[in-house]
Chain A
C-alpha cells in the first residue's frame, strides 16, 4: 500500500465548475501538506501549503486537512481551461529536510 493515495483521474469538468481533489495517507506523522500543479513536461508549481489540520484559502483555491481522517482536499472554484493539469498532493513529517512524499497525481481537464 502506498503511503499517499490519489485517484489518477482523469477528472473532467465543465468550465466554471468546482474541481474537488483529494488524497488519503497512512502515515500519521505527516504534519506539512502541499498541493502542486504540474503541466505536461513542466516542473511542479506550488499552489498551497498547510501545516497540520484546518482550512486555507488563496484566491480560487481552498485546501483542507483532516488529520484525524488522514485526508486532505483541494477545491478549485470557477475552474478555467488553464487549470487543466495534473495536481499532486505532497506531505512531509518534518519541516527540516523537506523530504516530500507525493501522491501519484490527478489529471484534471476543464472543458470550455
Chain B
C-alpha cells in the first residue's frame, strides 16, 4: 500500500529534546495535514499545508511546534523542548484536492511520541 508514509513510527525523547516527525503523502497528493491523538481522546487537527505553504495552522500550539512541507522531500512536524504532555500519537494525512469530489483524506499509520 503506497499510502501515507510516516517515520519514525515510535520515538522516545527526554524532556527538553527536539522531536522531528516526517510524512510523505500518497503519490500525487499535494495537501498534507497533521493531527494529534492524545491518550483516550479523539484526533485533533493541528495544521494543513500545501507545498511550501502553511494554509491553516489554527490547531497548532503557539509555542514549540512548527510544520513545513518543502518543495522537495517530506513534510516535517517539529516539536522543540518536548514536555511530557506532548506524548501522543501524531498522524499525518494527505488528499489529492480539496473540492467536494476529492474531499477524502487518507491517514498514515502514525508516529508515537513518548517523552520521558
The residue on B at minimum CB distance from A103 is B42
Interface string of A71-112 (1 = CB under 8 A from B): 000000000000000001010100111111111110000000
Chain B interface, number of residues (Cβ within 8 angstroms): 31
Distance in angstroms between the alpha carbons of A51 and B103 in the assembled complex:
10
The residue on B at minimum CB distance from A44 is B107
Distance in angstroms between the alpha carbons of A46 and B108 in the assembled complex:
11
Does B42 contact A104, Cβ atoms closer than 8 Å?
A: yes
Does A102 contact B44, Cβ atoms closer than 8 Å?
A: yes
**Among B40, B100, B108, which residue has its beta carbon within 8 angstroms of that of A51?**
B100
Total of A-B residue pairs, C-beta within 8 Å: 71
**Among B40, B55, B102, B107, which residue has its beta carbon within 8 angstroms of that of A45?**
B107
Distance in angstroms between the alpha carbons of A51 and B55 in the assembled complex:
23
- Residues in B with CB closer than 8 Å to A60 are none
**Among B45, B59, B104, B110, which residue has its beta carbon within 8 angstroms of that of A49?**
B104
- Residues in B with CB closer than 8 Å to A36 are 107
- List the 8 closest A-B pairs by CB distance, nearest first: A102-B42, A43-B107, A95-B103, A95-B100, A104-B42, A96-B98, A102-B43, A43-B109
